[in-house]
Amino acid sequence: EKDFDIDNFLFVLQPFYKGGEYDYLLNSDKELDLLNKRFIVFEVDAIKDNPVLFPVVTIILMEVFINKMRRLKGIRKMLLLEEAWKAIAKDSMAHYLKYLFKTVRKYFGEAVVVTQEVDD
């Protein structure tokens, strides 16, 4: 039994390969250094209803934050998630957000959820 199914992994990533429907998303030739930026905003409103892009982009953005958080030790960091209910509604994303919230505290950071409604 395999620990990691490379064939399944490659199949799942097929839309993100060159020539795939979302090849523009993960194949940039531009270097983007976010480590030294003090304030970063990612607006995902245009993809919030896309069942493929929203979870992928959300995880990438959170990984950017986690990497920045781990490298900038001793510097206060904040992750502000607006309208996070959409991500929390998906079980896999809820587990990832739980991990993120627990990890942030260990690195002198805080995660904040902003919502328009108390019921969210």
pLDDT band at 21 (very low <50, low <70, confident <90, very high): very high
For residues 66 and 80, give the distance between their C-alpha atoms in angstroms, rounded to a whole number. Answer: 13
What local confidence, expressed as pLDDT, does residue 87 receive?
67
Domain boundaries, the chain: 1-30, 36-114
Supply 20's token pair. 């795939």
Distance, CA of 102 to CA of 48 (rounded, Å) = 24
pLDDT computed for residue 20 by the predictor: 92
Q: How confident is the model over 23-59, as pLDDT tens digits?
A: 888 878 888 888 888 888 888 888 888 888 888 888 8
Q: Mean of the pLDDT values across residues 113-119?
A: 78
pLDDT tens column, 66-109: 888 888 888 888 888 887 777 677 777 788 888 888 888 888 88
Task: Please give the pLDDT value at position 111.
Answer: 87
